[in-house]
Structure 1
Amino acid sequence: MRKLKVAFCGGGTGGHYYPAVSILQELKRLGEIDLMYFTVSGKIDDRSVGKNFPEAKIVPLKLTGLKRPLYNPTNAGILFSHFKTERSVRERLAEFSPDFLFSTGGYVSYSVVKAAHKLGIPIYIHEQNSVVGIANKSLARYARLLFISFEESRSSLELPPDRIILSGNPVREAKSTRSEVMKRFNLAEESPLIVVLGGSLGSEVINSALEKFYSELEKSRDRLAFLHSTGDDNRALSLNRFPFVRSFSYIEDLTDAIACADLVVSRGGATTIAELQYFGRKGIIIPWPGAAENHQFHNARSLERVGLGYVILEENLTSTALSIAIREMLQRETCYKPPRRPVEIILDNILREESI
């Protein structure tokens, strides 16, 4: 494959950024690339692109997302800042002249995709959630192809069917075996492994419910092993009083643990749902009720439909509800077969479309 010049945008959260990382890593494996990445100033993509791709040309954009509800008066000023940013983005794109732009959504994508469209640069968009985001829905008409992670997203997009590709959500590959993960965290290899996380910043609701469950479990004869990411140092220290729990405020390479877990207890973010589907792992999902368009709930239902999910609404989350769900899910047998790698589907379609 010849050397490619590619522009990427989509960030502000890990849910937007990590799929882009997976695609770029695969592109680099296939051949040499020259990368320009438009980031949200100060956010995870802005902090991480230089570490993940030291050779990248990074263009930080000082933007904010629309306020909810959408008729909030402050949104007029926010939209104006996006229009102003579009002009500077267009200059950078014209100078760089990429073979194509790939966007993973989020508010940063609005200015970048619009600028690329005006320059005639081929545009490809990926949607991570089952509910299509505001930016991706409004920009979909500019995309040569729009990749979706859930079949139910298709009905909300006003595009010809052949321009919508069900790809799934690209995830990072696991690098460690189950045995290596259990040894790394000093967990009993013969015990079922349950990974607990509450999103990138943790969840006090999930932490509290699990602490009560751990107290009850300690009195029983059940032998389970928990790896718990709390998002909080003090909470992590407190939970480590339980001999069957290894708790940390943040866990590097958590993908390795999810890939070999017998069960995952988590929020319903797009990345976690994608990892569960990709690795064929079972999950108890407690959707965050504050997610835009309630997309975490719909993500969780999608996992439930393929037999890998068990949904507990936050208002119903108790140690008793957790105990029932954990027992049922550990015993549940599934016939789910993970699909083809999403990153392969996406790049095969783009490279074919661009005759690369």
Structure 2
Amino acid sequence: MKTIVFTGGGSAGHVTPNLALIPKLQEGGWNIHYIGSKTGIEKDIIEKEGIPYHEISSGKLRRYFDMKNFKDPFLVMKGVAEAYFLIRKLKPDVIFSKGGFVSVPVVIAGWMNRIPVFLHESDITPGLANKIAIRFATKIFVTFEEAIKHLPAGKAVHTGSPIREDILKGNRESGLRYLGFTSTKPVITIMGGSLGAKRINETVREALPQLLEMFQIVHLCGKGNRDESLNEVKGYQQFEYVSDELPDIMAATDMVISRAGSNAIFEFLTLQKPMILIPLPKASSRGDQILNAAAFEKKGYCRVLQEEQLTEASLLQSVNEVYGYRLRYKENMRGYSASSCLKEIIEYIEKASK
């Protein structure tokens, strides 16, 4: 039986594309293993799927000064050693990495064991972990065509983003029933990523009375960010995080307000959901979401609202404008298809295993 090791973690965005590939490979008779960190979000997600999960040490590599910078390189080296012997034991035919700092030791250990290593880069420019991993990779799959110019010549292939099939199978009526919403008012789903977004959460709650005049609101606010005083507000549902119910919620959704993480926005694009994107600002990121959002706005998929300009008034104005032009946004999105992405990546994996 052919064996593949997946890796990637630190955020849900470094796991969900793997979850799109795994069922297809299982159908093809592949034996699946996952290597991740001891405490990252990937552990809970993968173990819930019933996939064998193996823990290694992991250290974060930072662009800024932190006392942990003196300790974490040793954790990375320890992780490489642990991954090296784990890979020798599992004997995979292929390694597939979605990025995040836990992936670096696995990619290096795979290269040391002469195993073909594939990376997937979601953003237009590679993150620090993938920048390190690129030199050990056999091939790099990219979501944005613009990313190719930022990668070594001949190594990158534009495939798009692997989309989970279950996100496409939601039922609108089931979603409305789960939320306790009516079918007579449109639904806006608001999310700030798996960890939440303080500025977005605060502004949404400030604007909530006006939003609820016309819309029903689903607010995925992140762990520890619920406001219990709003529990009984009609037409408003808040969740820290949603998993199994997300396809139905998205089927019931008419418009999305979100950060601009690549995996999420390509799911919205595939579902043809008009978007307001509020990318992470440069002050708290490397600017990847700003580039992602700009690329989507250029294609007519979304409206971008920078966090520095985010106020109650600017949010309400953007909501009214995007909803007013929702049919135009949906028409622009109809030209995009994600169906070939999974097939192309799996063809590369199958070829490497032979």
Match of 1:231 among 214, 222, 229: 222
- 1:59 aligns with 54
User: Which ranges of structure 1 fall in alignment gaps of 5 or more residues?
Assistant: none
Q: How does 1:1-356 map to 2 (within 5 A)?
A: 3-28=1-26, 30-54=27-51, 56=52, 58-69=53-64, 74-160=68-154, 163-172=155-164, 173-174=166-167, 175-217=169-211, 222-231=213-222, 235-252=226-243, 253-289=245-281, 291-332=284-325, 333-334=328-329, 335-336=332-333, 337-341=335-339, 342-355=341-354
SS at match of 1:191: coil
- Give the Cα separation in 2 of the matches to 1:41 and 1:234: 24
- Give the Cα separation in 1 of the matches to 2:263 and 2:338: 17
- Give the Cα separation in 2 of the matches to 1:24 and 1:316: 40
User: Which ranges of structure 2 fall in alignment gaps of 5 or more residues?
Assistant: none
Calculate the TM-score normalised by the size of structure 2.
0.89
Contact 1:277 1:303 in 2 (8 A): no
1:274 partner amino acid: F
Judged with a 3 Å threshold, the aligned counterparts in structure 2 of structure 1 residues 40 and 214 are, in CA distance, closer, same or farther, namely same
SS at match of 2:286: helix
Contact 1:106 1:135 in 2 (8 A): yes
- Give the Cα separation in 2 of the matches to 1:114 and 1:251: 34
- CA drift of 1:232 comes to 5.9
- Give the Cα separation in 2 of the matches to 1:299 and 1:136: 17
SS at match of 1:293: coil
- CA drift of 1:346 comes to 1.4
Contact 1:126 1:146 in 2 (8 A): yes
- Give the Cα separation in 1 of the matches to 2:226 and 2:90: 47
1:231 partner amino acid: G
Paired residues, what number? 344
Moved more, 287-296 or 114-123: 287-296
- Give the Cα separation in 1 of the matches to 2:207 and 2:122: 32
- CA drift of 1:233 comes to 6.4
2:43 partner amino acid: D
SS at match of 1:196: strand
Q: Percent of pairs identical after alignment?
A: 28
- Give the Cα separation in 2 of the matches to 1:39 and 1:233: 24
SS at match of 1:62: coil
Runs of 4+ more than 6 Å apart: none
Q: Spell out, residue by residue over 1:171-202, the C-alpha distance to the aligned partner (whole angstroms, 9 max, x if none).
A: 32223212221122121213222101122132
- CA drift of 1:35 comes to 2.3
Q: Spell out, residue by residue over 1:260-315, the C-alpha distance to the aligned partner (whole angstroms, 9 max, x if none).
A: 52210112223321211222211111122255312121222222122121111112
SS at match of 2:189: strand
Contact 2:94 2:352 in 1 (8 A): no
Calculate the TM-score normalised by the size of structure 1.
0.89
Contact 1:233 1:248 in 2 (8 A): no
- Give the Cα separation in 2 of the matches to 1:245 and 1:52: 30
Q: Spell out, residue by residue over 1:206-248, the C-alpha distance to the aligned partner (whole angstroms, 9 max, x if none).
A: 1221122222345xxx532211122366744333454232223
